[in-house]
Amino acid sequence: MRAFHGKPYRQNDDSDRSEKKQIFEEICAQQDLTPSQVVRKLIHQYIIEHAGSRELPEWLTGYAAKVVNRPL
C-alpha cells in the first residue's frame, strides 16, 4: 500500500475505476449534464464549503447564490 499524506490507501484496480466512471457518466447523462459540468459544480461547492473566513472572488460567490439548495 502506498501512503497519501501519511495515510495508507488501497489502490483501486482498473476495473473499479472503469465501473465508477461508467456509473458516474450514466448518472450525469440522466441529469442531462456532462461529467465536466458536474466536476466543476463539485469543485465550486467544495471551495465555498471549505473556504472558512477566506474572502472569495465575486464570480465564485455569485455562483454560490445560484446553486444554493439546488441538487447536483
% of the chain exceeding 70 in pLDDT: 69
Q: What is the 3-state secondary structure (H, E, C) of 4-24?
A: ECCEEECCCCHHHHHHHHHHH
Question: Does some domain include residue 51?
Answer: yes
Question: Does some domain include residue 62?
Answer: yes
* 59 confidence band (pLDDT: 50, 70, 90): confident
Question: Does some domain include residue 69?
Answer: yes
Number of domains in the chain: 1
Question: Does some domain include residue 19?
Answer: no
Bridge partner list, 7:
4
Q: Is 59 left (phi over 0), alpha (psi -120 to 50) or beta?
A: alpha
Question: Does some domain include residue 39?
Answer: yes
Question: Does some domain include residue 4?
Answer: no
Q: Please state the length of the chain.
A: 72
The model's pTM is 0.64
User: Domain of 39?
Assistant: 33-72
Question: Does some domain include residue 15?
Answer: no
Q: Dihedral, CA atoms, 15, 21, 24, 25, nearest 10 degrees? A: -130
